[in-house]
Structure 1
Amino acid sequence: MQVHPNQLIPGCILLKPVEGKTKHPIIFDNTVIEEKHIEVLQHFGVKAIEVSERLVSGVTFQPGDLKEESKDETGTATTDFATLYKKAVQSYKTLFKKWQSGSPINVNELRRIVIPLFNCMEDIQLDVFLLHKYATKEDYFYHHGISVALISAHLAKKVGYHKEWIQIGIAGILADCGMAKLDSTIMQKERTLTLSEYNEIKKHATLSYRLVENIAGLSKEVKLSILQHHERLDGSGYPLGVKDDKIHPFAKIIAISDTYHAMTSERCYRKKQSPFKVIEEMLILAYTKFDYVLLQTFAQTLLNYSIGTSILLSNGQEAIIVYAKPETPIRPIVRLTSTNEVISLKDKPALFIEKIISNN
């Protein structure tokens, strides 16, 4: 049967070779499709392939519906990022509730949710760092899953994971799937968790790993990163308390994404914080908690998108970012809008960027 790559699931059997632009096969016939093959097909923009009506397990393959995108008169997809994002959050919420009811995790369903967002990342740039603006206190958890996936994929790409970045994004959305096996009342708490409740929450990393450990379409690296995304370089993390060299690089990326989005988002028991203040606090913890090179790249990427941007400082004054030194990316040189005075935030430790007003 002929299907679109977005309809594939691990275990499909390719009946005909798939040729690239050079007419050389990029995937040979009789290949048993894995997650990496689906990524290759999407990367090359393949529209249709021929697969067997049965999976390698012998089970009948039933491809899911392929949703059509709305297009304008030029044939360009018109769905904007905000719409895709909000739809993804609702779809993830639906899936999570199924997991709470005992349904198994379907990686292909997750891919259909996040791949359209991944495809937008080059266009939205700064918005990757401002995903917290969409989050609500009531649905924070579901926003968090989608946002961690996006931020992790974005950071992975920035540090050179040109093949694995989608896998890392998928690991990001699955990192908290084990929460589905915990008492749901803990997730709905509107106050700071007690010590016993916090210890219960800490079980989610192990539970997440248990939910994904037998999924054939996920690599060992992805599964390990899901288990380790709360580990810290100094061994103070959980569930195993392993240190730097024992933590998988994918997990170090998710750790930064997870912490950044959690601290910048408004939650039932905690106010949101400025992205710049959050990164500054995280940089202070670099070398002991987070991978410094990854975190520095994350910070520099945010400021690269922000040069010439109008900002609001923590003292209520508006300013424009004019320059950022690589060694102090979140403390740039700014020009005050009211007086045209140029100041370096590096020399004013009590002052920081509160929020971005507009990106010029």
Structure 2
Amino acid sequence: MVRVKRSQLREGCVLAEDVLGKTKRPIIPKNTVITKPLLLVLEKFLVEEVDVEPLLANGEPFPNVDSASTAAAKQPMSFYLEAVQRYKTWFQSWQAGLPVDIGEIRGVIISLFERMAGQKRELLMLHHYATKDEYLHHHAVSVGLLAGFLAMQLGYSEGECHQIALAGVLADCGMAKVSRRILTNPSALTEAEFNEVKQHPVFSYRMVQKIPALNYGAKLAVLQHHERNDGSGYPLGVKAERIHPYSQIVAVADVYHAMTSERLYRRKQSPFRAIETMQREQFGKLSTEAVAALVNNLIGLQTGAVVKLSNGEMAEVMFIPSDDPARPIVKIIETGQLLSLSVQRDIYIEEMVQG
């Protein structure tokens, strides 16, 4: 990490540590990407110095940081940001008609997965980095990491976890064959545009179909990651019995990251809010085992954890109901008031600040 003065910050800087106020409570959590409004927040709270990652959110090095100190200071998220930029170059090459270079992709993604597989909090924060303009690139790398992590928690072998991670990364490679006008459209898609987008799993499958380094399950996951257990998915509309287990894992990772990320025509949701929506709206559509692995291993709260609520208040988790784990009983730190989020449905957990 790099210690910098507030005046040196620019949009796209990534916080390496929580920014604490005078009460020692986090004003802005680590891994947040700095924006213009956040620069004003830091000024308002008279924050003079902060710790940032040596790389910006777009993968560029932080200005005035030499390469030697950058290499020495690298955190896992720096490797993630580098991988996103590598994916961007791959995607551009696919748009130009070049084939998938699985050797290069495997070298980057598996190395990154092995670095981050045990970093639960870092994986939980991946959505912070997805900007509207580079959503596709962040989404691909994040889905690969999350899918590999879920596979690991579900007891798959190391080799299978690697295959599932690669399937997650390559699931949207076929988006390179979709019209660039659609990919950059800032408004909701028309029916015709959405129908074209719905063909991207087929395009992706064709791009990986003859790659011997990917096994049968990984190739099916690329094709089936938008299929749903009740037959409501696409492109084939198959039901659970015909959907490969790898596909079901990638599907959960795909939905979760999409819901928690900022996109051109849709606002992001809190991870905890996204989990609620997935459990409610996707019941019968997504694998219950994969969703449970996401809730219990990635989103899993513990008593004593400090969280930020949607109303801006900080709270401590006191009790976690087994039937509604995203809505625990919390104690408001400033007032000591106990609040059941299962009862107070209009308030939810925005972010976990300290586990």
TM over 0.5: yes
Cα distance in 2 for residues equivalent to 1:335 and 1:303:
19
Tell me the residue number matched to 1:352: 348
Cα distance in 1 for residues equivalent to 2:339 and 2:283:
29
Q: Choose the corresponding residue for 1:150, options 140, 145, 152.
A: 145
Identity %: 43
Q: Choose the corresponding residue for 2:184, options 170, 185, 188.
A: 188
Stretch moving more, 346-355 or 158-167: 346-355
Q: Choose the corresponding residue for 1:327, options 318, 323, 328.
A: 323
Is residue 168–residue 222 contact of structure 2 (8 Å, CA) maintained in 1? yes
Tell me the residue number matched to 1:24: none
Shift of 1:206: 0.6
Shift of 1:307: 4.4
Which amino acid in structure 2 is aligned with residue 256 of structure 1? V
Cα distance in 2 for residues equivalent to 1:169 and 1:309:
29
Q: Choose the corresponding residue for 1:285, options 281, 291, 301.
A: 281
Residue 169 of structure 2 is aligned to residue 169 of structure 1:
no
Which amino acid in structure 2 is aligned with residue 182 of structure 1? V
Tell me the residue number matched to 2:114: 119
Larger radius of gyration: 1
Residue 251 of structure 2 is aligned to residue 260 of structure 1:
no
Q: Could you list the per-position Cα deviations for residues 77-109 of structure 1 after superposition, in whole angstroms to 9, with x for gaps in the alignment? A: 863112101110100000111111111101111
Tell me the residue number matched to 1:217: 213
* Counterpart secondary structure, 2:312: coil
Cα distance in 2 for residues equivalent to 1:326 and 1:162:
28
Q: Could you list the per-position Cα deviations for residues 61-89 of structure 1 after superposition, in whole angstroms to 9, with x for gaps in the alignment? A: xxxxxxxxx999xxx98631121011101
Tell me the residue number matched to 2:57: none
Change (3 A) 1:307 1:145: farther
Query: For structure 1, which runs of at least 5 residues remain unmatched after alignment?
Result: 1-69
Shift of 1:348: 2.1
Cα distance in 2 for residues equivalent to 1:330 and 1:103:
44
Shift of 1:126: 1.5
* Counterpart secondary structure, 1:304: coil
Shift of 1:166: 1.1
Cα RMSD of the aligned pairs, angstroms, is 2.0
Q: Could you list the per-position Cα deviations for residues 284-308 of structure 1 after superposition, in whole angstroms to 9, with x for gaps in the alignment? A: 1344211112212211223435543
Cα distance in 1 for residues equivalent to 2:118 and 2:215:
29
Shift of 1:113: 1.8
Cα distance in 1 for residues equivalent to 2:182 and 2:244:
29
Is residue 255–residue 290 contact of structure 1 (8 Å, CA) maintained in 2? yes
Shift of 1:122: 4.2
Is residue 233–residue 287 contact of structure 1 (8 Å, CA) maintained in 2? no
Cα distance in 2 for residues equivalent to 1:286 and 1:341:
34
Which amino acid in structure 2 is aligned with residue 318 of structure 1? M
Q: Choose the corresponding residue for 2:246, options 250, 275, 283.
A: 250
Tell me the residue number matched to 2:31: none
Tell me the residue number matched to 1:139: 134
Change (3 A) 1:277 1:120: same
Query: For structure 2, which runs of at least 5 residues remain unmatched after alignment?
Result: 1-66
* Counterpart secondary structure, 2:342: helix
Q: Could you list the per-position Cα deviations for residues 225-246 of structure 1 after superposition, in whole angstroms to 9, with x for gaps in the alignment? A: 1100000111000011001111
* Counterpart secondary structure, 2:315: strand
Report matched runs for 1:1-360 at 5 Å.
Answer: 79-163=74-158, 164-304=160-300, 307-356=303-352, 358-360=353-355
Change (3 A) 1:342 1:284: same
**TM-score for the superposition, normalised by structure 1:** 0.76
Cα distance in 2 for residues equivalent to 1:313 and 1:298:
20
Cα distance in 1 for residues equivalent to 2:79 and 2:303:
27
Cα distance in 2 for residues equivalent to 1:228 and 1:337:
45
Cα distance in 2 for residues equivalent to 1:303 and 1:281:
14
Is residue 260–residue 268 contact of structure 2 (8 Å, CA) maintained in 1? yes
Change (3 A) 1:321 1:302: farther
Is residue 145–residue 172 contact of structure 1 (8 Å, CA) maintained in 2? yes
Cα distance in 2 for residues equivalent to 1:302 and 1:151:
9
Tell me the residue number matched to 1:48: none
Stretch moving more, 258-267 or 334-343: 334-343
Which amino acid in structure 1 is aligned with residue 100 of structure 2? I
